[in-house]
């Protein structure tokens, strides 16, 4: 485990609260949408989840989808630590979140 140093706490203290809340909110919405899209795309096409082992392509799709979802959820809990990464998530989130929500709406 990485230890939190005094420099890390000072860097976190310099991030404005509004920026931190908005950037983390946009980041969380984007990552949750990405996980939901991955779940929807990785479901078996012609069968149920319980009979997916009959078709190798559906089984591979489900296994890869599960691995990607686990990785995406892990990334959800790795928070940005500096001001620049919060600004990056703010700018990218303003563009990516509406696109992710539109994709989620049309895929589901």
pLDDT in tens, 42-77: 887 776 766 766 777 888 888 899 999 999 999 999
Q: What is the pTM of this model?
A: 0.78
Whole-angstrom distance, CA of residue 24 vs CA of residue 102: 20
Share of the chain above pLDDT 70, in %: 81
* Residue 103 in tokens: 């994709």
Mean pLDDT value of segment 5-17 = 66
Best CA proximity match to 16, nearest among 95, 75, 90, 92: 90
**pLDDT for residue 7:** 58
Model pLDDT for residues 26-47, shown as the tens digit of each residue:
999 999 999 999 999 888 777 6
The token duo for 49 is 């989840």
């Amino acid at each position: 485990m990485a230890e939190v140093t005094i420099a890390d706490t000072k860097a976190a203290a310099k991030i404005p609260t509004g920026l931190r809340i908005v950037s983390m909110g946009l980041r969380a919405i984007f990552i949750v949408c990405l996980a939901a899209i991955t779940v929807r795309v990785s479901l078996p096409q012609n069968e149920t989840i319980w009979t997916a082992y009959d078709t190798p392509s559906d089984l591979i799709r489900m296994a890869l989808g599960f691995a990607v979802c686990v990785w995406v959820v892990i990334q959800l809990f790795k928070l940005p630590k500096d001001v620049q990464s919060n600004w990056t998530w703010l700018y990218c989130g303003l563009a990516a979140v509406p696109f992710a929500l539109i994709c989620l709406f049309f895929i589901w």
